[in-house]
């Protein structure tokens, strides 16, 4: 049963959908589109046409697989980028270095399907409003990124204790440096895996992750958080569970904060 759910989680990962749709697009291109083109035109399409068709077909398959629409640009650019970058005379170690840097930043993307993207300042202000007006409130940002949310809340709510927990090495290092430079004493940036943290100590738990971990995270919230506490998920709801409240923010992306009260 657990293996089945791991397989499902694996298939839900955006990177798997990305390369899965590129693969299916290549199969469609070589088995269907190019033979049909050749039978009409009596010649092979140019490389630019081949790459453009590959990208557009992959983007269409990606949307069908549930990839967000903004991935379409990446899907279309990928065949061109792969081809032309292979022809650039860039030493191998540079690619290795770029790959290592990406791994250290997007540490949790491949395994857990949780990439790095950041909450905006409208969301920070909304979170500050949602913190209960009570001295000593404990707040945790699960997967705190580079620490922006935590620093904003710590500055705006000096009476609260704010923790940001991040396990990707480079974002964790950046958030720790920002913490040291901030001189704030009511905030902590911890380099750790939030799955290992007991949430019972927090009155407000915030997560901006991805659809992949939401059900597992909600089970953890229910098992550990105390009555009266609040779980806030930015953008991603818990499948099959009705949020107690959904706040739509007045920013460009119309951010939705899903509020679950315990
Ligand atoms: C979408 S970002 C959100 C960043 C930040 N919370 C914000 O709102 O600006 C999600 C972050 O969660 C981190 N993350 C994912 N799984 C984690 C885990 N098990 N423990 C700690 N951090 C994790 C990722 O590395 C990524 O930086």
Residue 156 counted as domain residue: yes
Pair (128, 78) in one structural domain: no
Q: Are residues 132 and 72 in the same domain?
A: no
User: Which residues, listed in sequence order, are joined to residue 246 by a DSSP beta bridge?
Assistant: 258
Query: Which of 65, 89, 113 is the last residue in one of the domains?
Result: 89
147: left (phi over 0), alpha (psi -120 to 50) or beta: left
Residues 72 and 168 in one domain: no
Residues contacting residue 77 through CB under 8 Å, at least 6 positions apart: 55
**Distant-in-sequence, close-in-space partners of 113: CB < 8 Å, separation ≥ 6:** 9, 12, 13, 14, 15, 210, 211, 212, 213
Q: Which domain holds residue 14?
A: 2-89
Per-residue pLDDT tens for 95-131? Answer: 889 888 888 888 777 667 677 888 899 999 999 999 9
209 in ligand 1 pocket by Cβ < 6 Å?
yes
Tens of pLDDT, residues 8-61:
666 767 778 889 999 999 999 999 999 999 998 888 999 999 999 999 999 999
Number of domains composing the chain: 2
Q: Are residues 150 and 215 in the same domain?
A: yes
- What is the rounded CA–CA span in Å between residue 104 and residue 234? 24
Closest-CA residue, ligand 1 atom 18, reads 193
Round to whole Å and give the CA distance between 164 and 208: 12
CATH code of the domain covering residue 228: 3.40.50.150
Separation of CA 90 from chain center: 30
Q: Which pTM was predicted? A: 0.75
Query: Residue of the nearest CA to atom 13 in ligand 1?
Result: 143
Residues 138 and 255 occupy one common structural domain: yes
208 CB under 6 A from ligand 1?
yes
């Amino acid at each position: 049963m657990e293996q089945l759910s791991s397989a499902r989680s694996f298939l839900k990962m955006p990177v798997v959908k990305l390369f899965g749709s590129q693969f299916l697009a290549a199969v469609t291109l070589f088995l269907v589109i190019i033979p049909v083109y050749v039978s009409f035109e009596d010649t092979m399409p140019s490389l630019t046409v081949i790459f453009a068709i590959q990208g557009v077909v992959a983007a269409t398959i990606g949307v069908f697989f549930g990839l967000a629409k903004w991935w379409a640009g990446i899907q279309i650019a990928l065949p061109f980028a792969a081809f032309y970058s292979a022809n650039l005379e860039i030493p191998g170690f540079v690619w290795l270095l770029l790959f290592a840097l990406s791994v250290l930043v997007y540490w949790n993307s491949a395994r857990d399907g949780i990439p790095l993207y950041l909450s905006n300042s409208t969301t920070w202000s909304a979170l500050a409003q949602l913190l209960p007006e009570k001295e000593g409130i404990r707040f945790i940002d699960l997967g705190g990124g580079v620490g922006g949310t935590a620093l904003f809340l710590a500055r705006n709510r000096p009476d609260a204790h704010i923790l940001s927990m991040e396990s990707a090495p480079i974002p964790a290092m950046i958030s720790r440096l920002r913490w040291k430079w901030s001189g704030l004493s009511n905030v902590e940036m911890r380099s750790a895996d939030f799955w290992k943290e007991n949430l019972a100590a927090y009155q407000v738990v915030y997560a901006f992750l991805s659809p992949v971990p939401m059900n597992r995270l909600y089970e953890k919230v229910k098992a550990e958080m105390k009555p009266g506490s609040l779980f806030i998920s930015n953008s991603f709801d818990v499948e099959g569970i009705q949020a107690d409240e959904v706040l739509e923010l007045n920013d460009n992306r119309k951010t939705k904060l899903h509020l679950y009260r315990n």
